[in-house]
Structure 1
Amino acid sequence: MIFYVFIDGIGFGENDPEKNPFSRYAKGIFLPLGGKNLPPDSPPRLRELVYLRTDASMGIKGLPQSATGQTSLWTGINACRVLNRHMSGFPTFTLKRIIAKYSIVKILEERGFKADLLNCYTPGFTEHVKKNPRQVSASTLIQLAGNKSLKGMDDLRAGKGLYMDISRDFLRKFGRDYIDKEDPILEKQDPYKTGKEIVPAVRADHTLCIYEYFLTDKVGHKMSWTGAERCIEDLEEFLLGVLEAMDPEEDQLILTSDHGNLEDLSVDVHTLNSVPTILYGRYTEQMKDKILQLKDIPHAIYDCLGIELAMSEEEFIKVSGESEMADSKTSI
């Protein structure tokens, strides 16, 4: 099983605890994002990780952004080259066309593999999407493009999915309008335990599982040191649990991001820093020399699974500028 973890807005930063929370707070997997090496006494599986510096700009000037970056990560198309710019917010008309055709979930499902987005959504989110259909993230769209239902609270209760906030603090705060206050689903979660339990819960039924964590980007924009500390602690514990549950002969971890942000809290915008692609497991040797840019990750996965797929940005570049700009105004 390939476990593809997407963490929004993290990059390689300087060893400067005055501006880089990874330098100040990281104790495990994120130490290299703080300009530090993993210590020799780190858990064995952390020492086996391969860290790649991955280009989020992909040949286009300007600060990398979420809509184009995530579309590239989950389709294999250089979305910012198609638009000739980096696009923030939600996918636009052209980006939706790319996802509809080349969603990694769709590609795998059509070829007999099982792929799934593990994020579980509240009824409140479902209502929001119905009222605001343009405000749908790339991760949601890749699942829908694969003709797969979004996971909900029943999946979370059954241990078959994950909430966007690993400890579920946000669910307790914002989910009470939709969930009974006595529901065990609202209990605070141990990130390490969550990570260790999710791998065996989904391994047998899936070739690829995707999980999106976006609080890191929100915290970066708010320049919140308190929020950064909490995100880093939760994620490091969660990922350690994931690693310990993995069988390196059968499973593969891919962890990456769409652009830098959290590694520099001296500014409230994205950065030009390389983003990490962190590999562990079965396909690491096969993948590590093939991932240079965000768009390379789906292709590396396809190569490992023996999928041959020709695609080109050219088929999407001809979309009219008027349609794209009209849609982008409602998406940012």
Structure 2
Amino acid sequence: MKVWLALDGVGHPLDAPPDSPWAQALTTLRPLVDAGAALDATLGVPGLPQSGTGQSCWLTGQDAVRLMGEHFGPHPGPTLQRLLRAQALPVRLVQAGARTALVNHYAPAYFAPQRRPRVGCFPFAFQAAGLPLNPSGLPLVPASLGLGFQAPWTPAGLGLEDLERLGTQLARAARDWDLLVLDLWFSDLLGHAGREPVPPEVRAAARAYLQRVDALLRGLLEGGADVALSSDHGNMEDLGVKSHTVARVPLAASTEILGPADVVGGGRWLAAWAGLSPAPEQKDDLAP
């Protein structure tokens, strides 16, 4: 009954400014995050952490930044794709005979032919494992969690009670699976809308998004799911800037977290939590 909520671009509240979207009543999410770990996402490399390398670290437990020689993203290029094909969590779970699925809902437009297909790390990793997007028989979740996809990102369908019920449905569905994963990339989109002074609609949408994560998480926990929550890099925690940040990122779980200090360690912790042994060190032939 394990469910991994992978936030995108949400730094830890310890490294957030006082007026952060974290500064509100998040009665389920905030206690879980506060009891968890704040992990380094920079890995000692100059520049701003990016989704391609950050998510690859989480998915593989390998130092994808060292492999690339820099922070890289948002989408995985050939080098990170090779790493994900070889060592991504869904690939290793399938090889071990486990059942896993990505429970994002992808609209039909996502599958339309594109001149330059650009697939994120999570859908790439699950497809590399031979698994479908929009898997049948599971309650699927839009990454926007019911907010509109364009400014001012007002609610468009799912309310907080709906998301709590959806979380409970996911928890029940998870009983028949080894791991369900949700790629919550919409927080990074909202973070990139930030600037100084912060537009009121951006602040409202970012706050609303964390409220929706809170409601979904509450339903998952009430449904008995064993939940882990992570983020790949900072961004939405500081709406005064448009870019990513060097903030530490959360690793939170309904079980105790011991050991990891950075996102590579976080990825190794996740693999063990999902029932896998540590992955072998990445091979030199994966490098560019």
Shorter-chain TM-score tier? 0.7 to 0.9
Distance 1:297 1:16 in 2: 24
* Structure 1 residues 124 and 57, CA gap change in structure 2 (3 angstroms): same
Instruction: Work out whether residues 56 and 294 of structure 1, in 8 Å CA contact, stay in contact via their aligned partners in 2.
Output: yes
Distance 1:269 1:170 in 2: 19
Instruction: Answer yes or no: is the 8 Å Cα contact 1:169–1:188 preserved in 2.
Output: no
CA distance in 1, matches of 2:114, 2:105: 19
Name the structure 1 match of 2:239. 265
Q: 1:160 matched to which residue of 2?
A: 139
How has the CA–CA distance of structure 1 residues 306 and 235 changed in structure 2, closer, same or farther, with 3 Å as cutoff?
A: closer
> Is the 2:17–2:237 Cα contact (8 Å) retained in structure 1?
no
Matched with 1:243 is 221
Q: CA separation of 1:278/1:269 partners in 2, compared to 1, >3 Å: closer, same or farther?
A: same
In structure 1, give the amino acid aligned to 2:145.
Answer: I
Per-residue deviation, residues 75-127 of structure 1 (Å, max 9, x unmatched): 11111111111012211110011011112111011111111111121211011
| CA shift for structure 1 position 303 | 3.2
2:61–2:268 Cα contact (<8 Å) kept? yes
* Mapped pair 1:6 → 2:6: yes
Q: For residue 182 of structure 1, what is the aligned residue in structure 2?
A: none
Q: Which residue of 2 aligns with 1:27?
A: 26
Which residue of the partner structure matches residue 308 of structure 1?
A: 277
Alpha-carbon distance in structure 2 between the residues aligned to 1:28 and 1:131: 41
Counterpart among 184, 193, 206 of residue 222 in structure 1: 193
CA drift of 1:160 comes to 2.9
How far 1:133 sits from its partner (Å)?
5.0
Matched residue type, 1:267:
V
Distance 1:15 1:313 in 2: 33
| Percent identity (aligned) | 25
Is there any run of 5+ residues in structure 1 with no aligned partner, and where?
Answer: 32-37, 39-45, 172-185, 320-332
Q: Conserved in 2, the CA contact under 8 Å of 1:259 and 1:274?
A: yes
Choose from 194, 211, 223 the match for 2:182: 211
Match for residue 294 of structure 1? 263
* Distance across 1 between alignment mates of 2:127 and 2:174: 19
Residue 195 of structure 1 deviates from its aligned partner by 1.1
CA contact (8 A) 1:79 1:313 kept: no
| Cα distance in 1, alignment partners of residues 82 and 222 from structure 2 | 38
Q: CA deviation at 1:56?
A: 0.9
* Pairing partner for 2:129 from 140, 143, 146: 146
In the superposition, the TM-score normalised over structure 1's length comes to: 0.75
Aligned length: 273
CA contact (8 A) 1:82 1:314 kept: no
Letter in 2 for 1:199: A
Q: Does 1:95 align with 2:80?
A: yes
Give the letter for the 2:248 counterpart.
S
Q: TM-score, normalised by structure 2?
A: 0.86
Q: Residue 57 of structure 2 aligns to a residue in which SS? A: helix
- Give ranges in structure 2 of 5+ residues lacking alignment: 151-155, 195-201
- Residue 252 of structure 1, CA deviation: 2.3
Residues 10 and 235 in structure 2, CA contact (< 8 A), matched pair in contact too: yes
Structure with greater helix share of residues: 1
Deviation at 1:315, TM superposition (A): 2.1
Q: Could you tell me whether the CA contact under 8 Å between 1:94 and 1:316 is conserved in 2?
A: no
Matched with 1:327 is: none
Indicate the residue corresponding to 2:158 in structure 1: 188
The one of 89, 95, 119 aligned to 1:110: 95
Q: Tell me what 2:230 maps to.
A: 256
2:258 and 2:221 mapped to 1: Cα distance? 22
Partner residue in 2 for 1:136 = 119
Q: State the partner residue of 2:248.
A: 274
User: For the aligned residues, what is the CA RMSD?
Assistant: 2.4
Q: Secondary structure at the match of 2:36?
A: strand
Report the equivalent of 1:52: 37
Q: 1:134 to 1:77 in 2, by over 3 A?
A: farther
State the SS of the aligned residue for 1:21. Answer: coil
Q: Contact 2:62/2:267 (CA < 8 Å) preserved in 1? A: no
